Amino acid sequence: MIPPFDDTYFMKQALVEASLAARKGEVPVGAVIVCRNRIIARAHNQTELLNDPTAHAEILAITSAAHTIGSKYLTNCALYVTVEPCAMCAGAIGWSHLSTLVYGSADEKRGFRQYAPHALHPKTIVKSGVLEKECTDIMTDFFRKLR
Amino acid sequence: MIPPFDDTYFMKQALVEASLAARKGEVPVGAVIVCRNRIIARAHNQTELLNDPTAHAEILAITSAAHTIGSKYLTNCALYVTVEPCAMCAGAIGWSHLSTLVYGSADEKRGFRQYAPHALHPKTIVKSGVLEKECTDIMTDFFRKLR
């Protein structure tokens, strides 16, 4: 069966990235960027490995996607990320003009809805709650094991 | 004469970076990061050259400084940047726990004070208006020549 290219499919791919982060001891956030049903970039949080506070999944994915398509504007692309982006990442999504942002679980502590609610481009469509339980569980498991 | 290591001195260094950006056709924003009176990172906006919407002077400087000191926290460091940071960069400054942010000219259109006023770490000290005229002039000149 050909897998259906829907929000669930692409969020599962972002979850694969989040799992890779968890295995490396990174806070498990994963992201993919999709253009016309093709994944053009995939990334996971690497702040520890790269020793870089800016190395969030979304930032790495946006940089990679811009290189792939040869434009700093990702106007016809969608970003799938397992957790609600922070202010920094929302700002980056804003600059990149991504057409759609889809996130899994909400981040009540550091999410952009609280810290930078107008940082996205006004035309960017936002969807939330896709595979919310899976996206929340991988974070909860990670922090439970740390304690 | 030994140059005095004060805010004006370090902002002049950030302005040198902004000039480098202007010469390359980049929006002229420059930044330096200072730790115990030593410049440990310097960068200028490279969004066009790198084809990367995240390649603002502040992001590049933070990544570079974190590599230099081997820590993703820049707790005892100050960031000097010629223009008020945007929401993305304010978020990055927040994650990096920079102790001090000094900027030259305000950015009423895209500055963090409007878009992400609480994105900085609560302990970060913010100073503004250092060499404000020089920092504003280099931006105004750049955009005048573009038209």
Phi, psi of B113 (to 5 degrees): -60, -30
Q: Looking at the complex, does the CB of residue A92 fall below 8 Å from at least one CB of chain B?
A: yes
Structure tokens at B145: 């020549």
Selected for mutation to probe chain B from A26, A71, A95, A113 (highest B CB count within 10 Å) is A95
Selected for mutation to probe chain B from A51, A77, A88, A115 (highest B CB count within 10 Å) is A88
ipTM value for the complex: 0.95
Contact A88 B86 (CB under 8 A): no
Give the model confidence (pLDDT) of A31-85 as tens digits: 999 999 999 999 999 999 999 999 999 999 999 999 999 999 999 999 999 999 9
**H-only helix segments in chain A:** 7-23, 57-69, 87-96, 112-115, 132-146
Q: What number is the average pLDDT over the span A115-123?
A: 95
Higher model confidence: residue B1 or residue B140?
B140
Give the closest residue to A130 by CA, choosing from A81, A87, A76: A81
- Helix-then-strand count for chain B, H and E: 5, 5
Q: What number is the average pLDDT over the span B24-49?
A: 97
Q: Looking at the complex, does the CB of residue B92 fall below 8 Å from at least one CB of chain A?
A: yes
- Cβ–Cβ < 8 Å for B9, B124: no
- For residue A1, what pLDDT is reported? 67
> Around Cβ A108, how many Cβ atoms within 10 Å?
9
Which amino acid is located at B130 in the chain? V
Q: Looking at the complex, does the CB of residue B25 fall below 8 Å from at least one CB of chain A?
A: no
Least Cα separation, residue B12 to chain A (angstroms): 25
Q: Under 8 Å CB-to-CB from B4, ≥6 apart: which residues?
A: none
| Share above pLDDT 70 across residues of chain A, in percent, rounded to a whole number | 98
pTM of the model: 0.96
| Position B129 pLDDT exceeds 80 | yes
**Of the candidates B52, B73, B88, which has its C-beta nearest A88's C-beta?**
B88
**H-only helix segments in B39-115:** 57-69, 87-96, 112-115
| Position B1 pLDDT exceeds 70 | no
- For residue A146, what pLDDT is reported? 84
Contact B86 A72 (CB under 8 A): no
Q: How far is residue B74's CA from residue A51's CA, in Å, rounded to a whole number?
A: 11
Side-chain-facing half-sphere of B109: CA atoms under 13 Å: 1
Contact B88 A95 (CB under 8 A): yes
Give residue A147's pLDDT band: very low, low, confident or very high (50, 70, 90): confident
**H-only helix segments in chain B:** 7-23, 57-69, 87-96, 112-115, 132-146
Give the model confidence (pLDDT) of A124-138 as tens digits: 999 999 999 999 999
Chain A residues whose beta carbon lies within 8 Å of the beta carbon of residue B47: 72, 95
Contact B86 A92 (CB under 8 A): no
Q: How far is residue B43's CA from residue B9's CA, in Å, rounded to a whole number?
A: 16
| Neighbour order of strands in the sheet with A100-105 | A38-44, A30-35, A77-83, A100-105, A125-128
- For residue B147, what pLDDT is reported? 78
Q: Report CA-CA distances (Å) from A127 to A28, A80, A132, B84.
A: 20, 9, 11, 30
Q: Looking at the complex, does the CB of residue A19 fall below 8 Å from at least one CB of chain B?
A: no
**Of the candidates B53, B96, B119, which has its C-beta nearest A92's C-beta?**
B53
Contact A52 B72 (CB under 8 A): yes
Chain A residues whose beta carbon lies within 8 Å of the beta carbon of residue B90: 87-88, 91
β-bridge pairing A77-83 and A100-105: parallel
